[in-house]
C-alpha cells in the first residue's frame, strides 16, 4: 500500500539561526507555489520526545528540507527530528534535501570543530533522559552523515539567496511529480490549444467555473485537459481527475458505474480509499465532503449527463474558485450541463500533423529527405488527428520505402473520409486500420 502523505514538505531547522531569514523566505516561496508545507513551531518542543503532532508531520511529509546551520547541533529537537526523518527515508521512501546555511558541508558531515563539540554536549545533556547516551550520539552522527551525503544546496554569502530559494522551490516542484498528470512526450500544437483556456479560468476565479472541452475522438481532448490540470492544480487542496468515464460505464453494464465514479471522486478528494454501499449514501457523502470547498474536478470522456449528475446535483455544492472541466465528444451534453464556456478542439493543420507524425516515424521533428514526399502523402489520411499521426507514424518507424509504398497504396484504395471515420471512432478503429495495413 502506498504511504499517504499529509504534507508536501517538512522543514527541519534551528530557529535562532535561520527562522527570520532563509527559512521565512523559503516558507513564503513554497506557500506561493501552493506547496503544502509544515513549519516547525517551538511550542511543540516539550519533554524529551517528539510530540505526536511533530511525529505525524514528519511521517506524513513527502519531502523533508533539512537546514543545517552553525548552531544546529546545539538543538536536541533538530537532531531528534533528523533521526526520525532519516528513519522514515528508509521505511517510507521520503525525499530528503539538505541545505547548508552558511556552514561548510564537510563540517556537518564529519562533525568537526565547534559543531562536533556541541553535538557531544547535546547528547550528554540527553543522558539523563535516555539511558544510553553513547548510542544516541552514534545515532545522531550516522543521521548527520547520511543526510549530508545526499544532493543538496549550499547557501553562502556570495550566492544570491532569493535566486537560491527559487531554485529549491523548483526542485521541490519537480520531485512532487506524482501529482502531475502524464503527458505524451511530443505535444505538438498543445500549447496553442490550451493557451486561451487557463487565462479564462484564472479570470473567473471568484466563482464556480465550469468549462467544456469538445471534439471528435482522437483529437486530444484528454491531453488538453491534463495540460490545464497540470498548470492550475497546485492552487487546489482538493482535486480529482477521473479518466475514461465512457469506458468505466461501458464496462459495468449493470449500472454500478454510479458508485464507481462516486468512490473515485471521494478517494481523490480525501486522499483515502472510500467504500460506498449505494448511490444515495455516495451522494450524501460527496455533498458533505464538498461543503462549499474550493475544488478542481476533471471529468474525462463524458457520454451522458447522468454521469456528471451522479457526482453532484448543483453548483451550489462547490465553493467559490472551484473549477469543473468536462471533456466530451457530444456538444449537446455540454450544453445540457450549462457549462460557462465550450472550447472546441480542432484538427491539427498540415504542419503540425507532419511534425507529430515525424516524431513517431523518424524520431525527429521533420521527415528524412528521402521520405519527405511519402510522409506528406501519408499524413493526409490522418485527418489532422493526433492519435492517428502517432499510431501510423509508429507503425511505419524503421520500415523500408517499399513497405511505406505498400501502406500508401492500401490507403489510396479506400476514400479518405472512410479512413478518417475509422480513426475517429476509437482505439479499436485504429486497430482495424493497422490490421488492414498489415494484411
What's the fold here for domain 183-344? Rossmann fold (3.40.50)
Query: What pLDDT score does 226 carry?
Result: 92
Q: Looking at 142-146, 154-158, 387-391, which range is the least confident one?
A: 154-158
Rounded-to-integer distance, Cα 251 and Cα 245, Å: 10
Quick check: 428 pLDDT over 50? no
- Give the residues across from 342 on adjacent strands: 212
H/E stretch holding 164:
helix 161-175
Helix ranges (DSSP H) in 337-426: 350-361, 372-379, 386-396, 401-413, 416-425
Rounded-to-integer distance, Cα 406 and Cα 412, Å: 10
Query: What pLDDT score does 432 carry?
Result: 60
Query: What pLDDT score does 289 carry?
Result: 86
259 vs 235, more confident: 259
Q: Which segments within 339-402 are labelled E, that is strand?
A: 341-344
Question: What does the CA dihedral 346, 349, 351, 353 come to, rounded to 10 degrees?
Answer: 60
Q: Around 85, how many Cα atoms within 13 Å sit in the side-chain half-sphere?
A: 30
What's the fold here for domain 7-178? Rossmann fold (3.40.50)
Q: Around 135, how many Cα atoms within 13 Å sit in the side-chain half-sphere?
A: 4
- Cβ atoms of 162 and 207 closer than 8 Å: no
- Percent share of the chain, pLDDT over 90: 43
Quick check: 211 pLDDT over 90? yes
Contacts of 363 (CB under 8 A, 6+ apart): 397
Q: Around 233, how many Cα atoms within 13 Å sit in the side-chain half-sphere?
A: 22
- Cβ atoms of 94 and 85 closer than 8 Å: yes
- Give the residues across from 98 on adjacent strands: 66
- Per-residue pLDDT band at 152 (split at 50, 70, 90): very high
The closest alpha carbon to 27, from 44, 42, 8, belongs to: 8
| Domain regions of the chain by residue span | 7-178, 183-344, 350-438
Rounded-to-integer distance, Cα 381 and Cα 418, Å: 9
Active site residue 42: no
Query: What pLDDT score does 431 carry?
Result: 58
Q: Looking at 71-75, 76-80, 122-126, 427-431, which range is the least confident one?
A: 427-431
Backbone angles phi, psi at 12, to 5 degrees: -105, 120
Rounded-to-integer distance, Cα 353 and Cα 376, Å: 9
Query: What pLDDT score does 429 carry?
Result: 47
Indicate the average pLDDT of the chain: 84
Quick check: 361 pLDDT over 70? yes
Query: What pLDDT score does 438 carry?
Result: 66
The closest alpha carbon to 229, from 309, 326, 339, belongs to: 326
Predicted confidence (pLDDT) per residue in 46-84, tens digit: 554 667 888 888 988 889 999 999 999 999 889 999 999
- Cβ atoms of 264 and 272 closer than 8 Å: no
Query: What pLDDT score does 387 carry?
Result: 84
Domains 7-178 and 183-344 share a fold: yes
Quick check: 179 pLDDT over 70? no
Query: What pLDDT score does 53 carry?
Result: 81
Q: How does DSSP classify residue 318?
A: S
- Cβ atoms of 183 and 288 closer than 8 Å: no
Give the torsion sign (CA, 379, 384, 386, 387). Answer: negative
Predicted confidence (pLDDT) per residue in 283-318, tens digit: 898 998 888 889 999 999 999 999 999 999 888 899
Predicted confidence (pLDDT) per residue in 319-358, tens digit: 999 999 999 999 999 999 999 999 999 889 999 999 999 9
431 vs 403, more confident: 403
- Per-residue pLDDT band at 2 (split at 50, 70, 90): very low
- Per-residue pLDDT band at 426 (split at 50, 70, 90): very low
The listed range with the strongest mean pLDDT (83-87, 90-94, 193-197, 429-433) is 83-87
Query: What pLDDT score does 177 carry?
Result: 52
Q: Which of 81, 347, 355, 390 is catalytic?
A: 81
CA distances from 104 to 19, 32, 68, 109 (A): 19, 30, 9, 9
Query: What pLDDT score does 324 carry?
Result: 96
In whole angstroms, how large is the CA radius of gyration of the chain?
A: 28
- Give the residues across from 241 on adjacent strands: 298
- Cβ atoms of 12 and 66 closer than 8 Å: yes
Query: What pLDDT score does 170 carry?
Result: 84
Quick check: 391 pLDDT over 60? yes
Query: What pLDDT score does 163 carry?
Result: 87
Q: At which residue does the C-alpha cell 520531485 appear?
A: 175
Amino acid at each position: 500500500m502506498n504511504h499517504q502523505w499529509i504534507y508536501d514538505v517538512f522543514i527541519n531547522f534551528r530557529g535562532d539561526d535561520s527562522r527570520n531569514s532563509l527559512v521565512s523566505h523559503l516558507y513564503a516561496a513554497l506557500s506561493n507555489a501552493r506547496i503544502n508545507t509544515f513549519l516547525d513551531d517551538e511550542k511543540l518542543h516539550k519533554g524529551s520526545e517528539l510530540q505526536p503532532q511533530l511525529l505525524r508531520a514528519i511521517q506524513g511529509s513527502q519531502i523533508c528540507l533539512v537546514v543545517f546551520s552553525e548552531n544546529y547541533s546545539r538543538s536536541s529537537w533538530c537532531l531528534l527530528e533528523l533521526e526520525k526523518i532519516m528513519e522514515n527515508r528508509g521505511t517510507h521512501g521520503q525525499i530528503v534535501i539538505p541545505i547548508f546555511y552558511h556552514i561548510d558541508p564537510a563540517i556537518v558531515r564529519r562533525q568537526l570543530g565547534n559543531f562536533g563539540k556541541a553535538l557531544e554536549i547535546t547528547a550528554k545533556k540527553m543522558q539523563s533522559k535516555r539511558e544510553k547516551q553513547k548510542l544516541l550520539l552514534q545515532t545522531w552522527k550516522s543521521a548527520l552523515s547520511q543526510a549530508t551525503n545526499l544532493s543538496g544546496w549550499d547557501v553562502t554569502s556570495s550566492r544570491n539567496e532569493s535566486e537560491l530559494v527559487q531554485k529549491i522551490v523548483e526542485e521541490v516542484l519537480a520531485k512532487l511529480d506524482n501529482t502531475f498528470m502524464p503527458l505524451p512526450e511530443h505535444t505538438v500544437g498543445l500549447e496553442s490549444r490550451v493557451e486561451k483556456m487557463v487565462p479564462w479560468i484564472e479570470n473567473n476565479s471568484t466563482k464556480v467555473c465550469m468549462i467544456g472541452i469538445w471534439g471528435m475522438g482522437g483529437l486530444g481532448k484528454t491531453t488538453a485537459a491534463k495540460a490545464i490540470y497540470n498548470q492550475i492544480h497546485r492552487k487546489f487542496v482538493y482535486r480529482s481527475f477521473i479518466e475514461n468515464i465512457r469506458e468505466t460505464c461501458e464496462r459495468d453494464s449493470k449500472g454500478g458505474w454510479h458508485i464507481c465514479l462516486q468512490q473515485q471522486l471521494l478517494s481523490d478528494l480525501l486522499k483515502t480509499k472510500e467504500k460506498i454501499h449505494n448511490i444515495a449514501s455516495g451522494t450524501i457523502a460527496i455533498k458533505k465532503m464538498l461543503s462549499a470547498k474550493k475544488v478542481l474536478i476533471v471529468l474525462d470522456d463524458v457520454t451522458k449527463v447522468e454521469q456528471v449528475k451522479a457526482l453532484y446535483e448543483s453548483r451550489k455544492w462547490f465553493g467559490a474558485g472551484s473549477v469543473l472541466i468536462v471533456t466530451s465528444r457530444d456538444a449537446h451534453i455540454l450544453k445540457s450541463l450549462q457549462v460557462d464556456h465550450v472550447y472546441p478542439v480542432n484538427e491539427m493543420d498540415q504542419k503540425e500533423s507532419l511534425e507529430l507524425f515525424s516524431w513517431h516515424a523518424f524520431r525527429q521533428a521533420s521527415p528524412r529527405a528521402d521520405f519527405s514526399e511519402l510522409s506528406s502523402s501519408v499524413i493526409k489520411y490522418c485527418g489532422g488527428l493526433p492519435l492517428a499521426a502517432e499510431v501510423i507514424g509508429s507503425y511505419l518507424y524503421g520500415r523500408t520505402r517499399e513497405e511505406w509504398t505498400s501502406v500508401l497504396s492500401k490507403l489510396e484504395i479506400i476514400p479518405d473520409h472512410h479512413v478518417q471515420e475509422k480513426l475517429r471512432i476509437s482505439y479499436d478503429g485504429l486497430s482495424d486500420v493497422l490490421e488492414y495495413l498489415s494484411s
